Amino acid sequence: MKKLEMAYNIPDSAVVLDWADEEEVHLFITTSNDEYQVTYVNGLWRCNCSDYHYRGTKTMRGLNHGDIVGSYCCKHILKAIMYLSSLKDGAYKTLDDYLG
């Protein structure tokens, strides 16, 4: 639950939806430490943060020769999901509405 709380504490203003279509979503999340890219491609969430890469590789060791396949959720991925959900609950009913 701590990671969920950490994600909740990242302000929506720190999230930029860069690209979205039927198959892919790309977001940038800026924290006090750095900027992170979160992607959703072919049903898998990925992040370029060190936490995701360390824990994701550790939990997926042996699959695809240690490649990260997208099962570990870091706080940035959780925030991206929260952010996209908030767009749906607000004035925007689809990502296309948001992207204009």
Per-residue pLDDT reduced to its tens digit, 22-59:
889 999 999 988 999 999 998 888 899 988 877 665 55
Model pTM score: 0.76
Contacts of 13 (CB under 8 A, 6+ apart): none
The residue ranking higher by pLDDT, 68 or 84, is: 84
> 58-81, pLDDT tens digit by residue?
555 555 555 555 467 899 999 999
CA 82 – CA 15 distance, rounded (Å): 10
- How large is the angle between the packed helices 50-59 and 75-89, nearest 10 degrees? 110
The mean-pLDDT minimum among 8-12, 13-17, 68-72, 73-77 falls in: 68-72
